[in-house]
Amino acid sequence: MLFDVDGTLIDSSYIHTLCWWQAFRQAGYDVPMASIHRSVGMGGDRLISHLLPDDRTDEAMKAVHGALFSAHWPGLRPFEAASELLAAACEGDGADVQLRGRPAFRRPPHGSRSPNIQHQL
């Protein structure tokens, strides 16, 4: 099973919106937060292409967004029941659980629970 972490298991969409807004402002673009929020989840390249004109420097804005977002990462929290969902998936029929951008969770030995999934999120 494949789970997306960012914005799906982890509550990060509003932080992404704020960080993209700040990155755009630093680059001289005034994009409404509502427009950015509706575009979060597209990925950086598609989001920039969708919201900005063609004459831009994507790499600089992605770097600024990444730096701003990384400052918030320690404070992000999983959505309610995300850990329980992953624990149930790990205890299932032996399938590997993959988290996009994270190491795989392997099914624990029979009868044992997956080690501290909350911490691994």
Assign 8 a pLDDT band (cuts: 50, 70, 90): confident
Q: What is the pLDDT of residues 44-70, one digit of tens each?
A: 999 999 999 988 878 999 999 999 999
Which CA distances in Å does 47 have to 14, 52, 73, 82, 99? 15, 8, 20, 26, 22
Q: Whose CA is closest to 46, among 9, 38, 3, 34?
A: 38
Q: How far apart are CA 78 and CA 8, in angstroms?
A: 9
Q: What is the pLDDT of residues 75-114, one digit of tens each?
A: 988 899 888 888 888 886 766 777 775 333 344 444 444 4
Q: What is the pLDDT of residue 114?
A: 41
Segments of 24-64 assigned E as strands: none
Q: What is the pLDDT of residues 23-49, one digit of tens each?
A: 999 999 999 999 999 999 888 999 999
